[in-house]
Amino acid sequence: MSHSQRYGYAPSYEPPRAYLPGDHETQDYGPYGPPDEAQVYDTYAAVRAARSYDAYESHAPYEVHEPYPYAAQPYAPAAQSYAPEQPAPEPAGPQVRTPLLPDQQSYDQEPAEPPSYDREPVTGGRADSRTAGRAAARRAARRKRFVDRPDGLLRLVPQALVVAFLAGGTTAFVAHDKAVRLSVDGDPRRLHTFAGDVGELLASEGVPVGPHDIVAPGADTPLTSGDEVAVRYGRPVVLTLDGHRRRVWTTARTVEGALRQLGVRAEGAYLSASRSRPIARHGMELAVRTERTVTFMADGRARSVRTNAATVRAALDRAGIRLRGEDTASVPLDSFPREGQTISVLRVTGSREVRDEAIDFQTQRVDDPTLFKGTESVVQPGRPGVRRVTYQLRTVNGVRQRPRLLRQEVLRPSRPEVVHVGTKAAPAGVAGADHLNWQGLAQCETGGRADAVDASGTYGGLYQFDRPTWHSLGGSGAPQDAPPEEQTYRAKKLYVSRGASPWPVCGRKLHE
């Protein structure tokens, strides 16, 4: 709606043409000549100001030009008229609906642009001043009528309540909104949240936390605006440290950080992975051999070295100690060298020796019911065997060691000895000879020794039987091998048949 239509009158004149510089060069201006260039621009500014909405808005504060009195200044058409109304420019920024007075617009219309109180008042001649004065008078009258009407105030009350409610909700919204900084595994981000504590924040952001993860501050810590929350994920590492294998957890993201977190001294250590290698969430395997001090005793002197070798053999090489031939160490060469360990180097020289050795025979004992109890008879004499044995002779650091058996070969097997053992009960006695002093006879002949044998080997036993006589009396084997009871029994039988003549010197002892 244009200004003239809004207040009930129509324009009487065509709008003047807005002159631009250079127009006077091509147009006919009549007897007065071309207009002054400054006057052209002033006219254009006046027309533009007259089309402004500032003079017709109802918002206070506002300025009013006093109208000319109708009596003193009768109305006359101005030399210029208003230009056709142009649409108001769109305001920059968010659109704000400003409620108008009831007489200014209906409630189903869009609100007009808010007034700008920084603009200069409209200038441009006497007609413009009179128009502005009449508009100000009408606005003052409308405000008075609106305030005096009760239904006007009633219309404003719901709108005020809505505005108050929205203002309170906005205040509550701003009060619960928190600006926090969340760092997940070193990846920081800033965000706004309504969470009350750290646990709610992580749940709302979809950040899972396990038993090996670290959350700082704790999940129950209340949140306030400006807080910082850090989450570090735990990573499994299968660590082999100086030969000992174990599974550990770390929140570090690189090998170097994990070693520092686990307290592993990495200076001079061997690492199976570079220190800058990242550790994935699923973990990794890492072998570490720290530097150790090992002392070697070799060739009569001690030598200490710092090494991260995996075996004693490798540590010897790094120490410049060479092993030759059968040389070895006091510990297995493939074992892991420990911190502060002392290892002796053994210089070994050796040779081989071949010997023929006898193999002992075994004795087999067989029961014989034809022999009296206590009587044993060797049926098959034993014979030792022969074997050839090869030994390793060693000298360690100049000291000869016990020979070590390398191999053996049997040249002749041994033959076992077979002995018959009597099981027959001995006779109770011999009639006509039991009352004699047989103990005195045995003492005289052999000194009471049942296994006695003379120097020639012909006679043996307590009573010095020769073998033919012993066999004729029922004995077997050698008389000295028979038990004393059997020898005495055979001697009694000899006495009954021949008397004391078999013992020409000691026979007299039988009657003492």
Q: Give kind and range of the element (H or E) at residue 494.
A: helix 484-498
- When computed from its CA atoms, the radius of gyration of the chain, rounded to whole angstroms, is 68
Six-digit token pair at 260?
A: 């520092």
Handedness of CA 261, 266, 267, 272 (dihedral sign): negative
Q: What is 351-419's CATH number, 3.30.70.270, 3.40.50.1820, 3.40.50.300, 2.20.230.10? A: 2.20.230.10
> What is the amino acid identity at position 69?
P
Which fold does the domain 292-346 belong to in CATH?
Ubiquitin-like (UB roll) (3.10.20)
Q: Is the CB of residue 358 less than 8 Å from the CB of residue 336?
A: no
- Burial level of 29, CB count in 10 A (0-12/13-18/19+)? exposed
The domain limits of the chain are 1-85+97-171, 177-232, 235-289, 292-346, 351-419, 426-511
Q: Could you give the 3-state DSSP secondary structure of residue 301?
A: strand
Check whether the bond before 61 is cis (ω within 30° of 0). yes
pLDDT given at position 486: 86
For strands 228-232 and 178-184, give the pairing.
parallel
> Which residue has tokens 């200004």?
3
pTM of the model: 0.40
Q: Is the CB of residue 374 less than 8 Å from the CB of residue 426?
A: yes
The CATH number of 426-511 is: 1.10.530.10
Q: What is the pLDDT along the chain (512 residues), one digit of tens a residue?
A: 444 444 444 444 444 444 444 444 444 444 444 444 444 344 444 434 444 444 444 444 444 444 444 444 444 444 443 444 444 444 444 444 434 434 444 444 444 444 444 444 444 555 666 677 777 778 776 665 654 555 555 555 555 555 455 545 544 445 568 899 999 988 899 999 999 899 999 999 989 998 999 999 988 999 999 999 999 999 999 999 988 899 999 999 999 999 999 898 888 889 999 999 999 989 999 999 999 999 999 988 899 999 999 999 999 998 999 998 889 999 999 999 999 999 999 999 988 999 999 999 999 999 988 887 877 888 899 999 999 999 999 899 888 889 989 999 999 999 999 999 888 887 767 888 888 999 999 999 999 999 999 988 899 999 999 999 999 988 888 888 888 888 898 899 999 888 888 999 998 888 88
Q: From residue 287, how far is each of 62, 243, 263, 318, 507 by CA, in Å?
A: 84, 8, 15, 20, 99
Q: Tell me the β-bridge partners of 358.
A: 386
d(CA 258, CA 275): 9
What DSSP assignment string belongs to 398-466?
Answer: TEEPPPEEEEEEEEE--B-EEEEEEEEPPPS--TTTTTS-HHHHHHHHHSS-TT-B-TTSSEETTTTEE
d(CA 46, CA 320): 106
Q: Is the CB of residue 185 less than 8 Å from the CB of residue 232?
A: yes
The CATH number of 235-289 is: 3.10.20.30
pLDDT given at position 28: 46
Beta strands in 217-347 (DSSP E): 228-232, 235-241, 244-250, 270-271, 284-289, 292-298, 301-307, 328-329, 342-346
Same fold, 292-346 and 426-511: no
Q: Is the CB of residue 242 less than 8 Å from the CB of residue 291?
A: no
Q: Where are the alpha helices (DSSP H) in 321-380?
A: none
Q: Tell me the β-bridge partners of 278.
A: 254
d(CA 211, CA 251): 12
Q: Could you give the 3-state DSSP secondary structure of residue 289?
A: strand
d(CA 479, CA 500): 19
d(CA 341, CA 318): 16
Q: Tell me the β-bridge partners of 271.
A: 288
> Which residue has tokens 């510990």?
331
Superfamily of domain 177-232: Beta-grasp domain (3.10.20.30)
Q: Is the CB of residue 463 less than 8 Å from the CB of residue 445?
A: yes
pLDDT given at position 186: 85
d(CA 260, CA 263): 5
Q: From residue 394, how far is each of 5, 186, 330, 462 by CA, in Å?
A: 132, 65, 15, 55
Q: Where are the alpha helices (DSSP H) in 109-211?
A: 126-148, 150-176, 198-204
Phi, psi of 110 (to 5 degrees): -75, 140
- Burial level of 209, CB count in 10 A (0-12/13-18/19+)? middle
Helix, strand, coil percent values for the chain (each to nearest 5): 25, 25, 45
Six-digit token pair at 216?
A: 């700082």
